[in-house]
Amino acid sequence: MATGNTQVALPNTQDLEHPLTLRILANTYACPSHGHIKQLKDNSKNITKGSQCITDYIQDIKTKDDDLAALGKPLDHEDLIEKVLKGLDDTYQSVIDAVNSRDAPIT
């Protein structure tokens, strides 16, 4: 790779521990684009339990929140709870009502 007037030899791609390889990877992937963050947020907006089991539903939301957190944009705890409740069906209405009627937020 040429940088200005100097030639920089890229390390062998097999050597993922090489400092130059790590720097190239960090520069490429550590700075998420605004579009990528927006896409992740949009994808997480419409998650519903649907026919999946409650464990899979919660894991799906948690995974998307973890993805956003890894990009430096984690969801607020209360927003996360709201997202979980919003995607539940009428089968969980008593749980939704109980959570919404609390005076103190869930911790």
Q: Give tens-digit pLDDT for 41-55.
A: 888 888 899 999 999
- Give the number of domains in the chain: 1
| pLDDT confidence band for 59 (50 / 70 / 90) | very high
Q: Please tell me the predicted confidence (pLDDT) of residue 2.
A: 47
Q: Is residue 51 part of a domain?
A: yes
Q: Which of 9-13, 51-55, 100-104 has the lowest mean pLDDT?
A: 9-13
Q: Is residue 69 part of a domain?
A: yes
Q: Please tell me the predicted confidence (pLDDT) of residue 24.
A: 75
**Domain hosting residue 70, numbered range:** 33-107
β-strand partners of 6 = 3
- Name the percent of the chain lying above pLDDT 70: 78
Average pLDDT, the chain: 81
Q: Is residue 68 part of a domain?
A: yes
Q: Is residue 97 part of a domain?
A: yes
Q: Is residue 47 part of a domain?
A: yes
Q: Is residue 44 part of a domain?
A: yes
**Residues 6 or more apart from 21 whose CB is under 8 A from it?**
10, 11, 13, 15
- Name the percent of the chain lying above pLDDT 90: 36
CA 80 – CA 75 distance, rounded (Å): 6
Which runs of consecutive H residues, i.e. helices, occur in the chain?
19-29, 34-45, 54-70, 77-86, 93-100
Q: Is residue 22 part of a domain?
A: no
CA 36 – CA 100 distance, rounded (Å): 32
Q: Is residue 21 part of a domain?
A: no
